[in-house]
Chains A and B, each alone.
Chain A
Amino acid sequence: EPEVTQTPSHQVTQMGQEVILRCVPISNHLYFYWYRQILGQKVEFLVSFYNNEISEKSEIFDDQFSVERPDGSNFTLKIRSTKLEDSAMYFCASSGPGAEKLFFGSGTQLSVL
């Protein structure tokens, strides 16, 4: 069964450093997302991406965050200057033409020290 894959599974970085989280969505999907989950809390929407542009973003997704689809298969989330409070599990997701059922990757656990 097709699945969303994320790399790396764990990322440790120093405060102020840039990180790039990578995702390969399901191949025929058209909508791509990033969500995050701070330890012990609920999952939060960050951004959705369709037709090579951001379609929705949350208040969390400020100027420090950016997304890109550099080629036909990858979807990336960049955090320009990480803060301690960016420590979380970051999930990539994708969905088909109707943006209905979302399929999530296994997540990247980001730890900012």
Chain B
Amino acid sequence: GIQVEQSPPDLILQEGANSTLRCNFSDSVNNLQWFHQNPWGQLINLFYIPSGTKQNGRLSATTVATERYSLLYISSSQTTDSGVYFCAVEEGSTSYGKLTFGQGTILTVHP
């Protein structure tokens, strides 16, 4: 099956700093999503981004499908951004929602 690698595994920031999280995947995908798992365990969908660039407030994401990676940018980080960020992909040409998750990046933002 497809392999999903996220880096860095851990990231510690001061409030206000910017960061970039990376997701590499081993095969062609038709579906790529970024999730934030907050300290209460809830999975929040940040982006559906199989290709291209999207922005939502302080967050933006870029997927370069031909080179098999995606980046999540967090600008002016806040303590509420803390949690685990997961990249999840679905291989193949048709989307069924069968996502393979990476191991996640644990982000800690200090005040």
Contacts and interface: CB of A to CB of B under 8 A. Distances in A.
Contact of B33 (A31, A89, A91, A102): A102
User: What size tier do the contact residues of chain B reach?
Assistant: 20 to 34
Interface string A14-48: 00000000000000000101010000001111001
A107 B95 contact: no
Given A42-B102, A42-B104, A102 B45 contact: yes
B98 A100 contact: no
A110 to B, nearest CB: 13
A70 B46 CA distance: 31
A45 B41 contact: no
Interface residues of A, number: 26
Given A42-B102, A43-B88, A99 B43 contact: no
Interface of B: 31, 33, 35, 40-45, 48, 86, 88, 95-104
Given A33-B97, A102-B99, 12 more contacts: A42-B104, A43-B88, A45-B98, A45-B100, A48-B96, A48-B98, A95-B97, A99-B97, A101-B48, A103-B45, A104-B35, A106-B40
